[in-house]
């Protein structure tokens, strides 16, 4: 009896050990094969497939994280929170992000007379880029050209279709068609094909506007005939693919050609000089009659003025850091704020506790926000000053100058305001631009004082 019991235990023990050893062996085998085969070709991907779900069959980890851009999470100064929205015929969304116009009504004054003063919500993740553009109230206020799709949809296949294989020709054609007529030709927000070559998976630029813009920038550095897809380094590409859209831009001429104003450089004041030379305006300000500009989202330009760019860090290093999946290293395609992923985004380089890193970033953003508020108050003050001269039939030279100063002050301020990092990408540069904006207001207010003096003397 006793012997039987021991045998029982021995067999049972041997069985358990066998299970554990086999499980370990299989685990080791899996890790080894993961390392050998970073992906399995389940489907053939060609240059004519833009559906990310199909690419996702070969690259399930990248695709899974890409889908997570639908998550809505806040940081102290950015990100987005989900707000319920009652669906209507015009706007069937059941969730939207915060209305920034209500959070800071000064925005309505700055953009008076422009579509942005009607609807300006917190930016959401890439998953929403297309729906949020289709259903913004701005579509109902102003007629938008097809050019807008360049950055809000996966347009690569549409370029090829409209240009008979020539993406630059297709890009030009798309801009000429009204938004409402062309939006049905696209299906997806930014997709794999917009940044990756399907045959090698290496990064590529698909947006002609960026090819042309970066050529101008490189020319200033003495590099002639720059072809971004042939001459850019791997690390450069890890920022350039983002720079295809996260930039300041304008629609050139009747053809509405998407153009990046980089002819004089990437800095806000250089861009403003460029606009000045071209006499470009976005609209006439409803409160002051000044011709003004709307800055867009110049993350690429601003980041390039900062210390991280100087150190050779790319957008992807912080916004899409590597994650480990088993034995594989996978780029996290959930593009998001590094503040939501501090250990992988920051600690790869900064050997500092997470809480300390978060505090550093928020200190920069706190200071930035307080300076931004000072500059914003100054700008709004100035717009209120100019209001009384709005209806001048024959504006004097002084008034024209004062209006031009509003244009400059407003563009400089808006450049910083529209940039998505709340000052983090280049804190000193953002402060310099805000200081410059305040300086323009100060110069303008001197002119307003002389205009008022003249008015009083005239009476």
Partner 1 sequence: MSNFSKLNLLILVLFGVVIGLGCYSFIYAKGYSYMSDDPKACVNCHVMRENMDSWQKSAHHHVAKCNDCHLPHNIVGKYAVKALNGWNHSVAFTLQNFHEPILIKEHSLKVVKSSCLTCHQPMVQAMDRTDKNHNEEANCLHCHRGVGHVR
Q: Which residues make up the interface to partner 1 (CB under 8 A)?
A: 3, 7, 10-11, 14-15, 17-18, 21-22, 24-25, 27-29, 31, 34-35, 323-324, 326-327, 343-344, 347-348, 351
Both tokens of 227, joined, read: 């072809």
Residue pair 134/84 in contact (Cβ under 8 Å)? The answer is no
User: Could you give the C-alpha distances from 33 to 27, 44, 232, 288, in angstroms and in order?
Assistant: 10, 21, 33, 67
Buried b (16+ CB within 10 A) or exposed e, 259-277: bbbbbbbbbbbebbbbbee
CB of 29 to partner 1, least distance (A): 8
- Residue 229 vs 323, nearer CB to partner 1: 323
Q: What is the DSSP string of 58-97?
A: H-HHHHHHHHGGG---B-SSSB---EE----SS---SEE-
- Residue 38 vs 87, nearer CB to partner 1: 38
- Residue 21 vs 453, nearer CB to partner 1: 21
Which of helix, strand or coil describes residue 415? helix
- Residue 34 vs 197, nearer CB to partner 1: 34
Both tokens of 119, joined, read: 């609807």
CA distance 110 to 368: 19
Residue pair 306/426 in contact (Cβ under 8 Å)? The answer is yes
- Residue 347 vs 420, nearer CB to partner 1: 347
CB of 310 to partner 1, least distance (A): 18
Sign of the four-CA dihedral 124, 129, 134, 140:
positive
CB of 36 to partner 1, least distance (A): 10
CB of 245 to partner 1, least distance (A): 29
CB of 28 to partner 1, least distance (A): 5
CB of 316 to partner 1, least distance (A): 16
The burial class, CB within 10 Å (0-12 / 13-18 / 19+), for 123 is middle
Please give the angle made by the CA atoms of 428, 434 and 439, to the nearest 5 degrees.
Answer: 125
Provide the 10 A C-beta neighbour count for residue 34.
13
CB of 64 to partner 1, least distance (A): 16
Which of helix, strand or coil describes residue 50? coil
- Residue 87 vs 326, nearer CB to partner 1: 326
Both tokens of 124, joined, read: 């959401």
- Residue 8 vs 83, nearer CB to partner 1: 8
Residue pair 203/333 in contact (Cβ under 8 Å)? The answer is no
- Residue 244 vs 337, nearer CB to partner 1: 337
CB of 321 to partner 1, least distance (A): 9
In this structure, the chain runs to a length of 459
User: Could you give the C-alpha distances from 249 to 156, 315, 414, 415, in angstroms and in order?
Assistant: 19, 19, 13, 11
CB of 425 to partner 1, least distance (A): 23
- Residue 35 vs 81, nearer CB to partner 1: 35
27 phi/psi in degrees, rounded to 5? -60, -45
CB of 241 to partner 1, least distance (A): 23
- Residue 228 vs 342, nearer CB to partner 1: 342
Of 282, 257, 228, the residue nearest 418 (C-alpha): 282
Element (H, E) at 192: helix 192-195
């Amino acid at each position: 009896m006793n012997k039987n019991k021991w045998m029982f235990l021995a067999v049972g023990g041997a069985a358990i050990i066998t299970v554990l050893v086999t499980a370990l062996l299989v685990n080791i085998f899996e890790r080894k094969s993961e390392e050998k085969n970073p992906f399995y070709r389940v489907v053939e991907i060609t240059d004519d497939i833009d559906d990310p779900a199909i690419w996702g069959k070969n690259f399930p980890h990248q695709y899974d994280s890409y889908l997570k851009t639908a998550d809505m999470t806040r940081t102290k100064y950015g990100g987005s929170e989900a707000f319920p929205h009652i669906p209507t015929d015009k706007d069937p969304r059941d969730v939207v992000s915060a209305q920034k116009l209500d959070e800071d009504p000064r925005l309505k004054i700055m953009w008076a007379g422009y579509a942005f003063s009607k609807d300006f919500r917190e930016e959401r993740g890439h998953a929403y880029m297309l729906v949020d553009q289709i259903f913004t109230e701005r579509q109902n206020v102003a007629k938008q050209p097809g050019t807008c799709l360049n950055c809000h949809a996966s347009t690569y296949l549409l370029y090829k279709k409209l240009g008979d294989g020539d993406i630059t020709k297709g890009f030009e054609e798309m801009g000429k068609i009204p938004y409402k007529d062309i939006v049905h030709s696209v299906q997806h927000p930014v997709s794999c094909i917009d940044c990756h070559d399907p045959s090698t998976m290496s990064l590529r630029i698909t947006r002609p506007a960026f090819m042309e813009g970066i050529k101008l920038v490189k020319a200033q550095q003495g590099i002639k005939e720059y072809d971004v897809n042939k001459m850019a380094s791997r690390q450069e590409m890890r920022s350039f693919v983002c720079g295809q859209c996260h930039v300041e831009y304008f629609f050139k001429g009747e053809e509405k050609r998407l153009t990046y104003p980089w002819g004089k450089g990437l800095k806000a004041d250089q861009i403003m000089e460029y606009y000045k030379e071209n006499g470009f305006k976005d609209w006439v300000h409803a409160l002051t009659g000044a011709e003004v500009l709307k800055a867009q989202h110049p993350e690429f330009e601003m980041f390039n003025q900062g210390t991280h760019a100087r150190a050779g860090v790319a957008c992807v290093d912080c916004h899409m850091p590597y994650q480990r999946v088993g034995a594989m290293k996978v780029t996290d395609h959930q593009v998001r704020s590094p503040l939501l992923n501090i250990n992988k985004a920051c600690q790869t380089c900064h050997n500092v506790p997470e809480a300390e890193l978060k505090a550093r970033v928020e200190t920069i953003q706190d200071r930035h926000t307080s300076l931004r508020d000072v500059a914003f108050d100054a700008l709004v003050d100035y717009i209120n000053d100019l209001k009384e001269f709005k209806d001048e039939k024959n504006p004097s030279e002084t008034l024209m100058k004062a209006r031009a100063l509003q244009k400059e002050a407003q563009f400089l301020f808006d450049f910083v305001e529209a940039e998505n990092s709340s000052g983090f990408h280049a804190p000193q540069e953002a402060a310099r631009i805000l200081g410059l904006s305040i300086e323009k207001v100060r110069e303008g207010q001197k002119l307003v004082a002389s205009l008022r003096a003249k008015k009083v003397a005239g009476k």
